[in-house]
Amino acid sequence: MTDTILAVPSGLAGQDTALQTLRLAARRPVHAYLFVGPPGTGKLVAARAFGAMLLCPNGGEDNCEICKRVVSHDYPDFVLFEREGASLTIDQAREVTRVAARSALEGGKLVIVLPEFHLAREAVPALLKTIEEPPASTVFIILAEFVPPELITIASRCVRVDFRPFTSEQIINILIAEGLTRPRAASIAGMANGRLDRARLLATDPEAESRWRSWAAVPGRLDGTGLVAATIAEELAELLKRSVGPLSARQDEEMKALVERNSQQMSMTVKLAPSLARQGVKELEETHKREQRRQRTDELRTGLAALAGAYRDRAAAGTMDAGLAVRAVGLIDQLSADLVFNPGELLALQALLVRLGRLV
């Protein structure tokens, strides 16, 4: 037994306990699993790998075509529901219930993944019965950063699998093993906020450190005027836009691989229906759009962390009143917390920098 799918999966380094739990669970699966852990700890990667183990006739050990299609989100019995707005909606909850009730299209099981379920809010009651008593062939994999009060009842119906946050030293060692020098690995780890996926993406970005320095230089450029604040905000917004470049390059490769697989399958004896091929491409396009939005939000959080660090450094060096620095960091932290509500980036940055400029 080689455990091909879960032997050394990208994005799950350091999650040995979770991996062992999933290997054992795949032998006798139950109706629902709850993966809990901070962003970037590999929950979605694990969901795809676990889904492959559940759907593959050989338990995910042979890296067969089904395994590859599940991991690349190109398999109709592996369904991923992404939130469309700030949280999963009631309409989406109804769609989850509808899909959960249908039969598997290609195999014996249907696997439904619900990411960011800690944001589900009003949709939770609508899903309770479905998750508690799905059809025998349906397995839910629920992903959450934490378990809020409204999720406790559903959590009690699931097998919980915890994903640990990464320490900076763990990220550094992983990046060194993947070819980075220790100084650059340490620099990237400092920007990744404990997220291995983020660290790996930043490691492919030659502009990552220069963007960090641009954010850290902002306090020294503010002069209390709205014009300067607006100018800097526009520059930072442009940096956010450019930060998507490495992700876009990876997405282009994913789309190319999907198109090639569809082309091969449509030329086989058992052909892939053109409508399914188009649906797969459309779904991947939508996934890529969501990934790009998240990347910009992640980059904005990274920039805000650099900005807050610059104010702390000024206070520590005695070049800024400690009380003003605390107020500045509070304003920055508030915007970082508000990012969950998807505010307009440029306007939010302009408003923040105007307020920070008044503390000069």
Distance in angstroms (rounded) separating the CA atoms of residues 111 and 358: 53
Across the chain, what does the average pLDDT equal? 86
- Phi first, then psi: what are they for 197, rounded to 5°? -60, -40
Domain range summary for the chain, segments of one domain joined by +: 16-165, 166-203, 207-360
Beta-sheet strands, E only, within the chain: 32-36, 78-80, 110-114, 138-144, 159-162
User: What is the structure's pLDDT at 150?
Assistant: 83
Is 3's pLDDT higher than 50? no
State the Cα–Cα distance between residues 192 and 201, nearest whole angstrom.
9
Q: Give the SS3 label for residue 280.
A: helix
Going from the C-alpha of 159 to that of each of 31, 54, 127, 200, the distances in angstroms are: 9, 15, 17, 29
Across residues 265-294, what is the average pLDDT? 69
pLDDT at 270 over 60: no
pLDDT class of 126 with cuts at 50, 70, 90: confident
d(CA 156, CA 189): 35
Picking from 9-18, 69-78, 218-227, which range would have the lowest pLDDT averaged per residue? 9-18
CB 228 within 8 A of CB 222: yes
Provide the CA 52 distance to its chain's centre, in angstroms: 19
- Crossing angle of helices 274-317/182-192, nearest 10°? 100
Element (H, E) at 198: helix 196-203
User: Assign residue 59 a region: left if phi > 0, alpha if psi is -120 to 50, beta otherwise?
Assistant: left
**pLDDT on residue 348:** 96
Lowest-pLDDT choice from 9-18, 299-308, 330-339: 9-18
Above 90 in pLDDT, residue 346?
A: yes
* Span 315-323, average pLDDT: 95
When comparing pLDDT for 263 and 302, which is higher? 302
What share of the chain in percent tops pLDDT 90?
42
Q: Pick from 171, 217, 225: which is nearest to 194 by CA?
A: 171
Going by pLDDT thresholds of 50, 70 and 90, the confidence category of residue 33 is very high
Distance CA 155, CA 33 (A): 8
**33-47, 49-63, 218-232: lowest mean pLDDT where?**
49-63
Measure the CA–CA gap between 81 and 20, rounded to whole angstroms. Answer: 26
Name beta bridge partners: 162: 36
b/e code 100-119 from CB counts within 10 Å (16+ = b): beeeeeebebbbbbbbbbbb
| Burial 13-49, CB ≥16 within 10 A → b, else e | bbbeebbebbbebbeebebbbbbbbebbbbbbbbbbb
How many whole angstroms separate alpha carbon 211 and alpha carbon 241? 11
pLDDT at 344 over 80: yes
pLDDT winner (highest mean) among 54-58, 127-131, 291-295, 306-310: 306-310
Q: Binning pLDDT at 50, 70 and 90, where does residue 258 land?
A: confident
Question: Which class is domain 16-165?
Answer: alpha beta
